Every structure is written in structure tokens, then in C-alpha cells.
Structure 1
């Protein structure tokens, strides 16, 4: 299943958007693209769509199980593509987006599917879910100079915090149930990260609806989509573990020579299991037991 553009997908390939949840994987480069696609296939998404340059190759098994769309995320970004897909999808279809070398984890994902997760979330009258982007990085940069190694992945166990999200249209008062979250490599190496890109919150799971727009900063035009919980109790949250920041810091000539290692006294080996993220308080099971 191969489409020549996002427009082609939304027209000829609209059937792939007809039933959610749908995963949109944007390939900024080829690093761990195959493992990213396989990981999200294993979570139970109804469709996994790889938006990638035509020059990228996929293994035979992924050619058969994923939907391929020609799209250069490194040059053209992801916002316009997500918004086109929102318009093309049936209303109230669950969509998720991430980038290559990123992996979704949610409470109990080893035994429950993403469909079960979102069915429960919808029962709580929620149309979007906050996913924290938790940086992971190779422990040995001499062996893995690109900072990506699944078998040697590490993460920060502390250093995460939140600040009130101020509303410039309301005398800079805090927005209701919205916070800016920080931590990980974007916090430790903030001198190399533009301040508008330092937060680690991303509304990456959401329901399509007419007129909805994804905006810069991984937030939406509907302010309720940007909240972390309903007014009554805590809701489910999830985590996207990501090599993306580590890759960028080691690829950037302005930062790579300042970073001989990402490991510090608060680094722990990433166990590739939701229990670790729950124990560290990096995601919330809410009322889902």
C-alpha cells in the first residue's frame, strides 16, 4: 500500500483512516524506522502509516503491514500533514503521531491494546491524551556516536517538573488544567535548545473533528484538547520514549563536541516496560486498573 502524497492518501487511501486508532509515523531520517513501525504495529493500531521520503527502503514484512506515504518530514514538517489527515478522517477517529526512533508506552501496554486504552479514555469523555516525551539515549557514545542504541538505552530518572502555562490573551493568567512540562535532555542541555522547544509535553493522541487544527508546540486549536485531565479526577496519560533529542544534539556541530556522554548520576537503564515509567511517575493510570 503506497501513496504518492498526503493528498493521495486522503483521497484514494481514505479507507486507511476509516477505523481508528491510526498511527502516523513521520520519518525524519532512516534511524530505527523499522523498529518504530513494528513497535506500533504490536500495540494494536488499526492502521500504521509511514510518512517517509521515496528514497527510504522498508523490509518486506513492513511493506505488507504498513501504509506508505511519500512525504519529506525533514523538509516539510508534520503539522500540515496531520491537519490534512484530520480533515480526511471520519469525525471522532482516534489518531496518534510520532517520529522515527520514538516508541509509545501506556499503562499496562504489555497486556492491553491501544484500542482498549482509548475506549476507556473515551468513556471518561476525553477526546485527547497527554503524552510526555521522555528522552532516551545511548549509554556509550563511543560505540554509538549517533546516540541511538536499543540495547543500550538509558533515561533520566529525575529532573522533571512543570510550570503554569500562562494565557497571553487573559492577562497572562494560568490556563485551566494546562501545564508546561520540562526535563530530560532538553532541560540538561537547554543552552542548545531554543526555549520554545524545551517542553516535553505533546498531545499526540486525539480524536479528529471538524475544524480541529494542530499548531506549533504540539498543541491544538481546541484548548480542551491541551488539558492533562478533566475537572473531576486524574485521567490516563502516556509516554513516547524518544531518541529524537539525543540524535539532534549529537548531529548538531554546535553541541556534539560538548557532550562526551549523556549519562549522569540520575541516569538509569531503560527497561522497555511500562512498569518502570509508572514507578517513576512519568505516566498516570488514572481510574484504569
Structure 2
């Protein structure tokens, strides 16, 4: 079903928010838009809500299965405002947000649904889940000049780092880390400092007063933690062509980059087992 605006959806389509988990997908461009929506539909979300500019179209069989809100997703603050409006409209619902050309992976996602994942996470008294944004990129930029190649994607097998996160007074924040790695690390000269982190709290339970901040964290400190105090919890990955697209579409970087490959590039296998083996997602106590 299509809605002419977010206001229209919140007036006439809020039933889609009555039961989670709900996926919010924001289309910055039309690259891999159908593939992104199909991937998240297959994960078992109760509703997939797509925010799509009016000039973009999606395949009819996908359109039948998603809630299509007509909206331009730039500037980037528009996305954060939309997520926060949805949070306040539907408290106590598990939600997830991403952009087009991004794909959620979690432990055992080939045989278990996102609903099963979050049922277990809820039992562990967690209201949010840390996700790592793992850059994927085309193996050959001469064949795929925009950096996007789902059938020939690569990722970095090493080069991921955790840094202690500090508050305004310089004190370390409990169970919070700033993560770096991937293309944002290797090509950091072309990435603004505030965009280099690869940690994102993309999966969370909405509640009144909760606010998503422009750095992909929340105004509630516990939502930004990677685990509870007593043991490790589940984490997920968002495998993303977004950095590759940006580096190859930006005039300040595209001519400096003739390949994203380096000696530690490996083919992306499109499964959770590879991400588990590389230590990029954590099963916690879920077996």
C-alpha cells in the first residue's frame, strides 16, 4: 500500500506498527532498492515500511508486500526525524532501520526469523541490539563503477577496531565502544571524522521519550551498550554497499580510488556463518 507522506501513513496506516518487529528502509537512491526490500521481507519482519522518493519505483510483487511511504530521504536529518516520529507513534514495538543497499544478518538467520531473534533478546532483558555496519564492495570497479555488485561482492576479513567511548568529561562510558574498520578506515582521508564509526544501534524497542540521535545512538545510555553487565549478548551486522557508493560518487574521492580490493579482501558469502567466523557478529547465549 502506498501513502503520500509520513503524516498520511501515521493517520491511516498505523496498524502496520501494531506488532513488531517492523523494518524501516530509507531509499537515498534507487541502487539495489528491490534487493534490499526483498532481503528484509525474507527475514520475517511483520511489516516492511519503505520510504521512497516519488521518482523511484519498485517491482510490483515487492510493492504488494511493503508499506510504501513517498518521501525524500535527504538531507540525512530527514531519516532521523522520521524514525523518531515512528518511535513516538508506536511505543513498545521492536523496530529496525537501514538504508537501501544494506542487508541485515544475524546469527543463524538462514534458519531462524528476526522474530525468534528478538524473542530471545527480550528474554535477556535487552531493549536494543548493537549492529556493526560491515562494508561490502564490488570486486572490480571497471565492471561496477558505482562500487555495487551483489553477485561479486567483497569484504575486509581483518582491520576492525574497538575504541573506548567517553562522555563529555572524558570519562569512559560503561559497556559502550566506538567501532571502526572497513572502507571507512582504509579510506579515512575521504570520510568525515563523524562518519567513520561502524557501530549502529539499528535494532531497538521503541518507547515514549526515546530519541535516535544524529550519530546513530540513542538518548538512553543503556540502548547504546553492546551487552548486559553479566554476559555477552547477541549482535548483528548490516552488510552495506553505502560507503562504496559514497566513495565512488563523490568527486573528491572517486578519481583517487581505482579498486577497493586489498590483500585482506575476501568474497562475501551472503551468510551468517562467515560473519560469525570473522567475529563480526556475536551469538551470545543463543545456540
TM-score by structure 1 length? Answer: 0.98
Give structure 1 regions of 4+ aligned residues with deviation exceeding 3 angstroms. none
Contact 1:7–1:84 (8 Å) recurs in 2: no
Partner residue, 1:191: 189
Partner residue, 1:222: 220
Partner residue, 2:80: 79
How far 1:88 moved relative to its partner?
Answer: 0.8
Q: For the residues of structure 2 that align with 1:98 and 1:60, how far apart are their CA atoms?
A: 22
What do the CA deviations read for 1:228-271 (whole angstroms, capped 9, x no partner)? 00000000000000000000000000000111000000100000
Partner residue, 2:279: 281
Partner residue, 1:245: 243
| More divergent stretch after superposition (69-78 vs 125-134) | 69-78
Q: For the residues of structure 1 that align with 2:128 and 2:275, how far apart are their CA atoms?
A: 20
Contact 1:134–1:241 (8 Å) recurs in 2: yes
Q: For the residues of structure 2 that align with 1:74 and 1:257, how far apart are their CA atoms?
A: 25
Are 1:204 and 2:205 matched, yes or no?
no
SS at match of 1:34: helix
Partner residue, 2:25: 25
| Aligned residue pairs, count | 286
Partner residue, 2:258: 260
Q: For the residues of structure 1 that align with 2:23 and 2:273, how far apart are their CA atoms?
A: 23
SS at match of 1:214: coil
CA RMSD between the two structures: 0.7
Structure 2 residue runs without a partner (length 5+): none
TM-score by structure 2 length? Answer: 0.99
Are 1:93 and 2:93 matched, yes or no?
yes
How far 1:74 moved relative to its partner?
Answer: 2.4
Structure 1 residue runs without a partner (length 5+): none
Q: For the residues of structure 1 that align with 2:223 and 2:35, how far apart are their CA atoms?
A: 29
How far 1:199 moved relative to its partner?
Answer: 0.5
Q: For the residues of structure 2 that align with 1:107 and 1:200, how far apart are their CA atoms?
A: 18
Partner residue, 2:165: 165
Partner residue, 1:106: 106
Structure 1 segment 95-134 matched on structure 2, within 5 A: 95-134=95-134
How far 1:63 moved relative to its partner?
Answer: 1.4
How far 1:10 moved relative to its partner?
Answer: 1.4
Q: For the residues of structure 2 that align with 1:36 and 1:264, how far apart are their CA atoms?
A: 26
Contact 1:22–1:94 (8 Å) recurs in 2: yes
Q: For the residues of structure 2 that align with 1:214 and 1:233, how far apart are their CA atoms?
A: 26
Q: For the residues of structure 2 that align with 1:54 and 1:208, how far apart are their CA atoms?
A: 28
Q: For the residues of structure 1 that align with 2:214 and 2:63, how far apart are their CA atoms?
A: 31
Q: For the residues of structure 1 that align with 2:122 and 2:8, how far apart are their CA atoms?
A: 30
Q: For the residues of structure 1 that align with 2:106 and 2:2, how far apart are their CA atoms?
A: 29
Partner residue, 1:45: 45
Contact 1:29–1:74 (8 Å) recurs in 2: no
Q: For the residues of structure 2 that align with 1:36 and 1:98, how far apart are their CA atoms?
A: 9
How far 1:105 moved relative to its partner?
Answer: 0.1
